[in-house]
Chains A and B, each alone.
Chain A
Amino acid sequence: MDLAFSPADEAFRTEVRQWLHARVPREPLPSLETADGFEAHRAWEAELAADRWSVVDWPAEYGGRDAGLLRWLVFEEEYHAAGAPGRVGQNGIHLLAPTLFAHGTEEQRARVLPPMARGEVIWAQAWSEPEAGSDLASLRARAVRTDGGWLLSGQKTWSSRAAFADRAFGLFRSDPDTAKPHQGLTYLMFALRAPGVRVRPLARLDGKPAFAELFLDEVFVPDEDVIGEPGQGWRIAMATAGNERGLMLRSPGRFLAAARRLEGLWRERGGPGSERDRVADALIGARAYQLFTYAAASRFLDGEAVGPESSLNKVFWSELDIALHETALDLLGPEGEPADTDWAQRYVFALAGPIYAGTNEIQRDIIAERLLGLPKGRR
């Protein structure tokens, strides 16, 4: 058992750090949830990609560095420590790409992945529907067979950044007559500016307009944009949903960097001992998450699959994120109220953590039933 990274990994760390030091914008970019910010972040993705830093763990042929999981963790630690911009391409990179690596065709990977890596095509996740949130399998949007492809109709909602994104991936009911709701679903990719798609921005709690609902009216999708076999969409989507909850979406580097910023704030302002305890808990939580992830990565490299433990991650990081940002706002007092400060923005974003990527209630059910072996109850 050891925590030391190899000299080669440390050299990689140095290379990442130097590159970021030279390139990270001095002034933070405008929020990626706004039109201007979205384009500025797209340009940043291109800059990352030009030196093959946008998807370091991907194979070189798609724009990556074949860096592996450990170096991805190292990259993320450095990335967040450097205060580099948020990743506007994350839904594509962390959800669609692993799905294509596991279930896509060679042709799909060659066509979809390189422009994703360069930020030329930004992807939105179109899973949720107004009547299908936690109970995602009850979704109703349809895919109807047509010549050479499918016609999509129905409504999707709460789709992050869909107001400005280029394409989306989601589940559609292709066979309405199955016995169980999660059968007869097909996983498809579609263009957000295709004929028949109407995108309606929804302001989020922080007023940012990039969230959206999608109205689809006989949108044509060619067969080549079906992921995996028609009717197998649920299995395919669930196989990669663990990525969203688990290590890829929320890397430990993010929380370590945030906890260190919080510690800095506390040193600057002081505060009663009770606040110091909360700062300590944020640091301890961030370290725990880092080490937990190292252990998970070690098991993964030993060939073990990432299973329901990703639900432990999800609840832990989302609650840590809120506690950490609440502490910061409490330290700031009335100065924490203006919505345009970095702390306030991050706080509002943290509030959504227990809701998206499968609510924490659903994750606790998974932990209880699949990790602790408790009997299934009523859903």
Chain B
Amino acid sequence: MRFLLDDGQRAFAASLDALLTAADPAGVVREWSRGDHASGRALWSRLARAGVFALAVPETYEGGLGPRPVELAVAFVELGRHAVPGPLVETVTAAVLLTGADPGIAERLLPVLASGERMATVAPAGAYALDGDAATLRLSWEPDGIRLSPGHGPVRPSLDPARRLTPLAPGGELLDAPTGQALTWARLATAAQALGVGLALLDRTVGHVRRRTQFGAPVGSFQAVKHRLADAKIALEFARPLVFGAALTLRPADAAAAKVAACEAAYTTARTALQLHGAIGYTAEYDLSLWLTKARALRTAWGDPHECRALVVSAADDRRW
């Protein structure tokens, strides 16, 4: 038992952090929100070259590095910290779905997902798919299986402007792809991304309250402010081990638990961040908004808190803790 990231995993996080810091994700997000996908696609390619989309693709497929759920969680924390837009979780989920598919299809599609050549979106039939207009592979998750959707409907903005919601066009080829572990990976990636979002919110808020003075003192010296931030820190630091624990076990109930804890922590942190920034935090042109709105949206993506909690309680055998 050694429940700590190893040096390679830490170095991977640091390299993604450096890549993303240099990439001006804030500008990318704003363009993405307007439906201008060019800079987002360029960033996507660089993330693919760093290996991000290959982590869920088995090594037996060209370009695959996986399955490496711990590294995937490491990567998604960084994607969340830097507010990277796009169907990130969905592309990973598609890779897991296709891994079980008919070999012809898997051989054709997995390498292009791993290389970043194609972006995928996945949504349960009738639900909104994320970024169906940007994705070039659209999977509709239907009761009888997974369909390759032929297109998408009109784009609706999410309350996170960076998330563009699209219904998927009905019909399309039915793939022989068992859904297996795909939902677990989707929840794991979402939880890690939410953790990253929460960490960024905390970080930026701590910075703000140290600088902002009122009544002749930094607002961060007031105890009411400090205690809210301490609570955000506690929630995030106790969500973190659940995320990595779920990556190690890949048990559905563990991923559900991680998703509840990370998304609730991120959302509480978002509320705190907004409050402690005051009006500037409520200003869309100020970058804090990029994370604030995402924290809310991730909470209901891939299983809302109620659904995930129900799984935790009902799956006593599967849970094993």
- Co-assembled chains A and B: yes
Binding site for B on A (CB under 8 A): 1-6, 9, 70, 256, 263, 266, 273, 276-277, 279-281, 283-292, 294-295, 297-299, 301-302, 309, 312, 315-316, 361, 363-365, 367-369, 371-377
Chain B 295-321 interface 0/1 with A at a Cβ cutoff of 8 Å (1 = within)? 000000000011011101100100101
Q: Which B267-321 residues have C-beta < 8 A from chain A?
A: 305-306, 308-310, 312-313, 316, 319, 321
Give min CB distance, B290 to chain A, whole Å. 21
Assess whether A372 is in contact with B312, with CB atoms less than 8 Å apart: no
Partner of B6, one of A1, A295, A365, A375: A1
Partner of A287, one of B209, B217, B234, B321: B321
Partner of A372, one of B9, B70, B233, B309: B233
| 9 A-B pairs (CB sep. < 8 Å) | A1-B3, A288-B239, A288-B241, A297-B3, A363-B230, A364-B230, A368-B226, A374-B218, A375-B217
A273→B231 CA distance, assembly (Å): 26
- Chain A residues near B308 (CB-CB < 8 A): 280
Assess whether B226 is in contact with A374, with CB atoms less than 8 Å apart: yes
Question: A292-B238, A374-B226 are known contacts; what are 20 more A-B pairs with Cβ within 8 Å?
Answer: A4-B1, A6-B1, A9-B1, A277-B310, A283-B319, A283-B321, A284-B257, A287-B257, A294-B3, A297-B3, A312-B233, A363-B230, A364-B230, A365-B227, A367-B234, A368-B226, A368-B227, A369-B226, A373-B210, A376-B221
A-B interface contact total, Cβ < 8 Å: 155
A310→B247 CA distance, assembly (Å): 25
Assess whether A291 is in contact with B242, with CB atoms less than 8 Å apart: yes
Find the residue from B206, B209, B321 having the highest chain A CB count within 10 A. Answer: B321
A315→B223 CA distance, assembly (Å): 16
Assess whether B231 is in contact with A364, with CB atoms less than 8 Å apart: yes
Partner of B248, one of A3, A316, A368, A377: A3
A276→B234 CA distance, assembly (Å): 23
- CB nearest to B260 among chain A residues: A284
- Count residues of chain B with CB under 8 A from any CB of chain A: 50
B237 in the interface, Cβ–Cβ < 8 Å? yes
- Chain A residues near B221 (CB-CB < 8 A): 374-377
Assess whether A291 is in contact with B245, with CB atoms less than 8 Å apart: yes
B249 in the interface, Cβ–Cβ < 8 Å? yes
A312→B230 CA distance, assembly (Å): 8
- CB nearest to A301 among chain B residues: B2
Chain B 232-262 interface 0/1 with A at a Cβ cutoff of 8 Å (1 = within)? 0110011111101100110000100100110
Assess whether B242 is in contact with A287, with CB atoms less than 8 Å apart: yes
Assess whether B309 is in contact with A276, with CB atoms less than 8 Å apart: yes
- CB nearest to A73 among chain B residues: B1
- CB nearest to B312 among chain A residues: A280
Give min CB distance, A267 to chain B, whole Å. 8
- CB nearest to B4 among chain A residues: A298
- CB nearest to A279 among chain B residues: B313
A9→B306 CA distance, assembly (Å): 37
- Chain B residues near A297 (CB-CB < 8 A): 3
A302→B1 CA distance, assembly (Å): 12
- Chain B residues near A284 (CB-CB < 8 A): 242, 257, 260-261, 309, 312
A330→B248 CA distance, assembly (Å): 35
- Chain B residues near A295 (CB-CB < 8 A): 3-4, 241
Assess whether B2 is in contact with A266, with CB atoms less than 8 Å apart: no
Find the residue from A9, A277, A289, A376 having the highest chain B CB count within 10 A. Answer: A277
B5 in the interface, Cβ–Cβ < 8 Å? yes
A233→B316 CA distance, assembly (Å): 48
A302→B316 CA distance, assembly (Å): 33
- CB nearest to B9 among chain A residues: A1
- CB nearest to A266 among chain B residues: B313
Give min CB distance, B221 to chain A, whole Å. 4
Question: If A288-B242, A365-B223 touch, does A283 touch B312 (CB 8 Å cutoff)?
Answer: yes
Partner of A273, one of B237, B310, B316: B310
8 smallest A-B Cβ distances: which pairs?
A: A291-B241, A280-B309, A368-B226, A364-B230, A367-B230, A294-B3, A377-B221, A375-B221
Assess whether B220 is in contact with A283, with CB atoms less than 8 Å apart: no
- Chain B residues near A286 (CB-CB < 8 A): 321
A178→B319 CA distance, assembly (Å): 57
- Chain A residues near B237 (CB-CB < 8 A): 292, 309, 312
A344→B209 CA distance, assembly (Å): 42
B29 in the interface, Cβ–Cβ < 8 Å? no
